[in-house]
Amino acid sequence: MAQDWKERLGVVYSTNPDFNYDTNKEQEEETLPPQQQNLRVCLDKKARKGKSVTLITGFVGTEEDLKELGKFLKLKCGAGGSVKDSEIIVQGDFRERINQMLIEKGYKSKISGK
């Protein structure tokens, strides 16, 4: 409660005793089970200096679970990459391998041409 004022920056004063400050905290989505996930695997070359990356999109869930899945896929492909903006990026063209791994883990996944 001592650091409460930092979350209220921009609100000067309210005389309403029942006023709740809107701190713009986003509610993080609950991770859906793999059977309900609808993932898309595609190859992307845009803005990457001609290098191709495999892009996995459509994950619904927490950032932590997304990072865990990204780490698993990068480890199995033996490649680098990152997880940001609700997307998993794996360096190189691993569409078939990643799609097969996702299906084996129980995810609904398909390769899409982007």
Determine the Cα–Cα distance for residues 114 and 111; give it in Å rounded to an integer. 9
Higher pLDDT, 31 or 73: 73
CATH architecture of 26-111: 2-Layer Sandwich (3.30)
Encode pLDDT of 38-74 as tens digits: 999 999 988 888 899 999 999 998 999 999 999 999 9
Determine the Cα–Cα distance for residues 22 and 4; give it in Å rounded to an integer. 12
pTM given for the model:
0.72
Q: Locate the domains of the chain by residue range.
A: 26-111
Name the pairing type of β-strands 81-84 and 87-91: antiparallel
